[in-house]
Amino acid sequence: MAQMPQPAAAHGVAAPSEPWYKVLYIQVLIAIALGVAVGYLYPEFGKSLKWLGDAFVALIKMMIAPIIFCTIVHGIASIGDLKKVGRVGLKALIYFEVVSTIALLIGIIVGEIIQPGAGFHADPSKLDASKVAGYAQKAAADSTIAHIMAIIPKSFFDAFATGDLLQVLLISILTGVVVTGMGAKAEGISHAIDTAGQIFFRIIGMIVKLAPLGAFGAMAFTIGEYGIGKVVDLAWLVGTFYVTAFLFIVLVLGGIARFAGFSIFRFLAYIKDELLIVLGTSSSETVLPHMMTKMRRLGASDSVVGLVIPTGYSFNLDGTNIYMTLATLFLAQAVGADLSIGQYATIIVVAMLTSKGASGVTGAGFITLAATLAAIPNNPVPVAAMTLVLGIDKFMSECRALTNLVGNGVACVVVSRWEGELDMNKLNEVMSHPVAIGTHISDESPQPMATDTPPSSTKVAAAE
């Protein structure tokens, strides 16, 4: 694939300034503020705007499966070395599991220290289990075997129809491996998939311009439906979760980022557009294609971006992991249940398994929480206790999605450096001058991975 033209700033020419009202993250900020105001002042009207947020998320979701398929298949085929594909995948999974475990442990540690549910004195017998019956039923069907079987789609195209990311990952990896093994015979197929990927990315570039409308509708509905009072009632839990997630990003991910040679704060500034869209929509899937584009601009290798970002959406969910252990401890404290060491261990193991596939979709974290509670030996915390946090889960889901997004971005850069394919000169340049190089989503339509391998002079050895 031909090399993408470089932005003007990359050649020393300042990029033309853009009017503030055309900058996407400013538009999203204004939309969120308006949504909060409308939902608070006119709650019924705010609730009627739910369809705006749902429509935007649906438009994005309809493109996620084909984009992941094209990106992974073309990425594996362009690498041409199945040993390298396996090596990158193994490094990514090791990173995911280590950091995810840290996130789970942090949730437990904070829950034990802060005790957000202490003094709540909820009576389990008086809780209305019907409110969470749907979540409990879905969780009950999510056994280990069922979880494994759910990765296998009913047919090749069923994964695209349902949009299940784990199923899409499976068929994408299998197809990429076969295309690579066919060599020259499959060059035409590889080119067609690459072209299809470009088409899908351009469609996403058009859809994302509607992000302010989606954020406005989603926020107006949230405030109108649940009210700010719900957050006030359980502010201690909400505040504890947000502070914990922030400290995880700054201390844990920040420490990892520093070790990899970049600042977590500059990284957050670099992906501010995506963070604001996720804040408005409560779904990290809405910015998946643009995160891939931005990670390539940042200097991460194409092969790593194509493998780490999509798989991270199913296997690297730091925010969801923190939420599950912290919320579990909150509910246990609220109903007066004392958990044993064995039950703590069960929570960690079950949460690690159930979080896979909770790919940033609003409400997925609540279902995994139900599955975690149901799996604790002797059921010390009834699933009905989830009604205590049902009203604020929407506010919690935003923090989960934001943390997941940051974690996947950091993982991509770290694995790229671990693989020895991170262009540090490019990373430092983009981090120092993000606006000049054109990092706003609205500046250009995202493009799929390039097949060209970065010159060896730009690579950084993992040992450095």
User: Tens of pLDDT along 187-242?
Assistant: 788 888 888 888 888 888 888 888 888 888 888 887 887 777 666 667 788 889 99
> Taking 90 as the threshold, does the pLDDT of residue 256 lie above it?
yes
Q: Which two tokens stand for residue 392?
A: 């604020």
Percentage of residues of the chain with pLDDT beyond 90: 13
Taking all residues of the chain, what is their mean pLDDT, rounded to a whole number?
A: 77
The domain spanning residue 142 has which CATH number?
1.10.3860.10
H-assigned helices in 183-210: 187-207
Instruction: Indicate whether 261 belongs to any domain.
Output: yes
For residue 311, the model assigns a pLDDT of 83
Percentage of residues of the chain with pLDDT beyond 70: 78
Instruction: Indicate whether 463 belongs to any domain.
Output: no
CA–CA dist 437, 432 (Å, integer): 10
For residue 250, the model assigns a pLDDT of 94
Instruction: Report how many domains make up the chain.
Output: 1
From 345, 458, 392, select the one nearest 116 (Cα to Cα).
392
Summarised one tens digit per residue, pLDDT across range 327-354 is 889 888 888 888 888 888 888 887 877 6
For residue 8, the model assigns a pLDDT of 43
* Residue of higher predicted confidence among 415 and 180: 415
246 — pLDDT class (breaks 50, 70, 90) = very high
CA–CA dist 319, 247 (Å, integer): 12
437 — pLDDT class (breaks 50, 70, 90) = very low
* Residue of higher predicted confidence among 150 and 154: 154
For residue 167, the model assigns a pLDDT of 83
- Structural domain of residue 346, as residue ranges? 8-458
The residues near 445 (Cβ < 8 Å, ≥ 6 apart) are 201, 202, 204, 205, 206
Instruction: Indicate whether 403 belongs to any domain.
Output: yes
Instruction: Indicate whether 2 belongs to any domain.
Output: no
Residue 383 and residue 127 in contact, taking contact as beta carbons nearer than 8 Å:
no
- Which of 100-109, 128-137, 293-302, 329-338: highest mean pLDDT? 100-109
CA–CA dist 137, 150 (Å, integer): 16
CA–CA dist 97, 317 (Å, integer): 10
* Residue of higher predicted confidence among 281 and 325: 325
For residue 125, the model assigns a pLDDT of 66
Lowest model confidence (mean pLDDT) among 64-78, 262-276, 311-325 = 64-78
For residue 456, the model assigns a pLDDT of 37
Lowest model confidence (mean pLDDT) among 44-48, 107-111, 435-439 = 435-439
CA–CA dist 284, 271 (Å, integer): 12
Instruction: Indicate whether 120 belongs to any domain.
Output: yes
Instruction: Indicate whether 464 belongs to any domain.
Output: no
Q: Roughly what angle, to the nearest 10 degrees, separates helices 165-182 and 50-79?
A: 20
CA–CA dist 306, 304 (Å, integer): 5
For residue 126, the model assigns a pLDDT of 63
CA–CA dist 410, 416 (Å, integer): 10
For residue 99, the model assigns a pLDDT of 93
* Residue of higher predicted confidence among 362 and 181: 181
For residue 104, the model assigns a pLDDT of 92
* Residue of higher predicted confidence among 5 and 94: 94
> Taking 50 as the threshold, does the pLDDT of residue 443 lie above it?
no
102 — pLDDT class (breaks 50, 70, 90) = very high
Most distant pair of Cα atoms in the chain: their distance: 69
What phi and psi, each to the nearest 5 degrees, are found at residue 234? -120, 35
